[in-house]
Structure 1
Amino acid sequence: MNWKSFFLGAAVGLAGGYVTKEILNHKTNVSPEKVLEHVKKQFKQNGTISGSWIHMVAEPYEKHQFTYRVYKGGISKNNNGTNEQFEFIADAKTGTLLDVRPLSEEPVY
């Protein structure tokens, strides 16, 4: 057996192992579309959705001294003939809802 071939094979194996480890350890964000789909599924349990949106870029958000990368979005739904609007904040890594708040309907002058 040729020592050059042995060391070349070992180097390629180590490099491949390192790259694989980095890929597996690197946690990527859930796509904004999947997060919006998940949020809509949650809201559909309590009424019909009339509109939705999501900001496609994750941004930093702090809650209870923890910092998250989040997507922000909104949902409009019909509840007994009344249109209600909500803003939501979802974790970009898991898609979990971190916060939901109703938007008050202020008259526009």
Structure 2
Amino acid sequence: MNWKTFLLGTVAGFAAGYATKQILDQSSNPSPDKVLAQVKETVKKDGNIYGSWILMKPENYKKNNLDYEVYKGGITRNTEGKREQFEFVADASTGTILELNAQND
């Protein structure tokens, strides 16, 4: 085997692996970390994020007679020196926020 053939095979293998990864990333559900990042990005528009959490295992959830698989979590933010807490429910397949509820102390 010569080096050109070996190098060509290696490059082709990496290219195929990279293309496969890109296709799988586009068609798979977002990770809980990505969903949390999306929720934080939405909530931080009105104040700085102080803390956040998300349950790593999706749960079944029903809203308006529709069944979802969701992630549940929470966000704490500071707005004008006041701490606010929110709990959220986000669709596990898209990351869309289905509910965002303020928690009263």
TM-score (norm 2): 0.73
What is the CA–CA distance in structure 1 between the aligned matches of 2:47 and 2:53, rounded to whole Å?
17
Aligned counterpart, 1:94: 94
Cα distance in structure 1, aligned partners of 2:53 and 2:94: 18
**1:1-109 alignment to 2 at 5 Å?**
28-105=28-105
**What is the count of residue pairs matched by the alignment?**
81
Tell which structure's C-alpha radius of gyration is larger.
Answer: 1
Distance 1:51 1:70 in 2: 20
> Deviations for 1:47-87, whole angstroms, at most 9, x for unmatched residues?
10000000000000000000100000000000111100000
| Cα distance per residue 1:74-101 (max 9 Å; x no partner) | 0000011110000000000000000000
In structure 2, stretches of 5+ residues that fail to align are: 1-23
Structure 1 residues not aligned, in runs of 5+: 1-23
Paired AA for residue 53 in structure 1: W
Deviation of 1:38 (Å)? 0.4
Partner of 1:19: none
Paired-residue identity, %: 51
**Structure 1 residues 24-51: Cα deviation after superposition (integer angstroms, max 9, x where no partner):** 8xx6421000000000100111110000
CA RMSD of aligned residues (A): 1.5
CA distance in 2, matches of 1:62, 1:29: 19
Matches of 1:94 and 1:40, distance apart in 2: 15
